[in-house]
Each structure stands twice: as C-alpha cells, then as structure tokens.
Amino acid sequence: MAKKIVVLGGGTGGTIISNNLRRHLPKDWEITVIDRDDRHIYQPGMLFVPFGIQKSNTLVRSRKKYILPDVNFVIDEITHIDPDKKEVKTKNHKFSYDFLVISTGCKIVPEENDGLMDAWGKNAFSFYTIEAAEMLQKKLKEFVGGKLVMNIAELPFKCPVAPIEFVFLADWYFKNRGIRNKTEIELVTPLPGAFTKPKASAVFIESAKSKNIKITTGFELNAVNGKEKYIESVKGDKVSFDTLVIVPSTIGDKVISDSGMDDGIGYVPTHHNTLKALKYDSIYVIGDATNVPTSKAGSVAHYEADVVVFNIMSEIHGVKPEEIYDGHSTCFIVYSKGTSSLIDFNYKIEPLHGMFPAPKFGPFSLLKETKMNWYGKLGFEWLYWNVLLAGRHLGAPPTLVMAGKEVG
C-alpha cells in the first residue's frame, strides 16, 4: 500500500515542503497538499500596495501552477485533525496519513480588537490582506497631512519588520508627495523596542529618529476609538491619530484550536529544533503555524521545510529526528523605494553587521541601508516564485552561517 504524507495548507511553507518532499521521496509515497483556495499570495508585496509601488493583481497566482504535478492538490476546507487515528477531515473528504505536516499559517482577526471594526475602512486601515492594502492605498492617495499612527495590536504577529518598513516607506512617500512637513508619523508597539531583537532595534530607532518618526514602545492595545480618533493601551495611555494603520490581533487557524491541538491562540506547540509537534507523533509543523520563538516569515518557513524534509526522511529510515533548526530567519527591511537593509539571525544570535551571503563580497550588507539591498528585495520576488516555492535551495544550509558577520 502507498505510504501517505498529507500537508495542511498550500501557502509558502506548504508549497515548498510538498515540492521538496516530492523531489526526495520515491513514487510509492503519495503526497497530498490541501488548501481552501487556489490563490497563492506573495505576501511581502502587500507592503508595497499602499504606496503604489506594486499592484495587488501582480501578487496573486494559482497555487496549482506552483505545486509539482505528481503531488495531489486538493481544494477544500480542513475541518478536523485526529492525531490518534492519523486522519484529517475536510468539508468533503477524509485523508489518512503516515506523516502530517501542518502549515496552516496565521491570520489577522480585527474583529477581536475592541472598537476596530467601527473604524475599519473609515480611519483605521491595514495592509495584512490584499483587500485591506487596496483600501489603504486609496486612503493614502487622499491623505493631505495629519497624524499617521502605525500600531501593532499584540504579539505574536506576522513579519515583525513590516510595521517598521511601513513607517519608513510612509516617510519616503509623504516626502515624495511634498506633504512630509504636514505629517506626523508614529509607530506604537507592544515591543520594548522597534523590533524583537535589541541590537537591530537600536539601529532601527536611530534610523527612525533621523527620519523624524516617533516610536512609542510597551503599548499593549486595549481599544480603538475611531470617533474620537485615539488608541488606548491596557494601562490607559492614549495615542491620538488622524489615520490609523494597524496590525490587528493575529491567531493560528481555527482548525488547530477546533482539533484541540493549540497553545491557546491557535499555534501548535512545536519542538524548537526538530520542528515535530510536541504532543503528537508523526506530525511536523512549519511556518506561521508553529509557536517557535522566531519571526513568522517566509524565509523561516523555507529553512524549516529543509529541516522537516530531513527529519521525515530520517524517520522513514528508522532514525530519530535531529535537533537541527536554530531559529534562522533572513529579512530585508525596506527603508524607501530604492534602499533597504537586511538582517540574518537565529534564536541565539542577534542580527549583526557584515556582508551576506558571501563574506567580504556580499553583495548584500547586513544592518545597513544600501541600494544593492533594495535590488535584493526586488529580486527576491523572482526567486520566491521560481526557485524557493519549487522546493529548491541555494546551496546554503538552513541554519545561520557566521561567515561574513562582524562579531564583537
């Protein structure tokens, strides 16, 4: 009988791992990937939509087109996972598995934030869905000056650098439109700094200062008041706005909590280094669906996929999974249309200065705003669709490489 691997979610992580597994496993292993629709969204591009740098219709492609033909792609809503029976239920089918990979991601839930829906689309906006990013683009076009506040409702959230990129791009955009002197920009975050890692955070705070962007830290959102135009923290602090851009509360998919497999906010408790679900045998988790303490980012899903393919192959050969994954994450941080910075770090090692990927030659500079990094950011989209989703890699290990980094 054919052996079966079922992959839940055909987004960044699910597509990469299905193709990667297909390249490594013999044909008697059946691979099935399930997603609710056939719309693969290049999510990093959503940051550019509000500023008119990228058109939203260029961000969506068919999932099926990017999944190898000898992987079964099923469009259906996943409704239940039964780890004891090794079975997954969808609205219309039932699937048994030998190994399960959970890559159901996470999503924003603005309806969970007090007062936010009353202001949504009026003076509160987001760019974490295509529809929201399009609404925000219209709003920014009409913006003639005033106070723009970028708020992160709570932790954890997807792509922790995106809000910093948003305020930097807003500075560039308003300067370009000649209304920067009429505009205040403020980033209001629950983090103790501009980013999760203190050293990189200090660099971003300096950059924000030089762009006259205010950063308010340690602000845990309690409510949005769209009528009186302020956000209020759980401590009772208020920040006023004319236009609010928000990363609403974020949770893992409902199927994880409905199946009783979550940590309370929809994420699967996952071993930080093997990426195996902590409570279940034969289940691995990658991407935004895990609760591992690193960024919820596409680069992370890609590195994790390599580790999980290795560990599933090991288990098939009767060998225990290895503790390989180190929290490795790599992200460009756009500073303006034309310049970007880059960070590369893991659970233990913070972003450092240096060159990437080749020591001395780069061509990309770490923790530094350069034109070359901007070209890297633009080129990444091509790499995403043509190389990474195909489950190929670039010859580098999935773990952090210290060569090229300035230590001390």
Interface residues with ligand FAD (CB under 6 A)? Answer: 9-14, 34-36, 43-44, 46-47, 77-78, 103-105, 127-128, 158-159, 162, 253, 255, 287-289, 296-299, 301, 331-332
Nearer to ligand FAD, 13 or 327 (CB): 13
Nearer to ligand FAD, 113 or 225 (CB): 113
* Shortest distance in whole angstroms from residue 61 CB to ligand FAD: 12
For residues 135 and 155, give the distance between their C-alpha atoms in angstroms, rounded to a whole number.
24
Of 33, 35, 5, the C-alpha closest to 316 is 5
For residues 86 and 280, give the distance between their C-alpha atoms in angstroms, rounded to a whole number.
10
Nearer to ligand FAD, 180 or 296 (CB): 296
* Shortest distance in whole angstroms from residue 26 CB to ligand FAD: 25
* Shortest distance in whole angstroms from residue 183 CB to ligand FAD: 22
* Shortest distance in whole angstroms from residue 86 CB to ligand FAD: 18
Bridge partners, 213 (sequence order): 185
- State phi, psi for 292 to the nearest 5 degrees: -70, 145
Q: Which single residue is written with the structure tokens 């936010």?
A: 116
Nearer to ligand FAD, 95 or 128 (CB): 128
CB 145, CB 182: distance < 8 Å: yes
- State phi, psi for 127 to the nearest 5 degrees: -135, 25
Nearer to ligand FAD, 237 or 263 (CB): 263
Q: Which single residue is written with the structure tokens 């399009």?
A: 134
Residue nearest ligand FAD, CB atom distance: 11
Angle CA 46–109–192, to nearest 5: 80
For residues 310 and 24, give the distance between their C-alpha atoms in angstroms, rounded to a whole number.
9
* Shortest distance in whole angstroms from residue 258 CB to ligand FAD: 9
* Shortest distance in whole angstroms from residue 349 CB to ligand FAD: 18
Nearer to ligand FAD, 133 or 208 (CB): 133
**Number of neighbouring beta carbons within 10 Å of residue 249:** 20
How do 72-75 and 213-216 pair as beta strands? unpaired
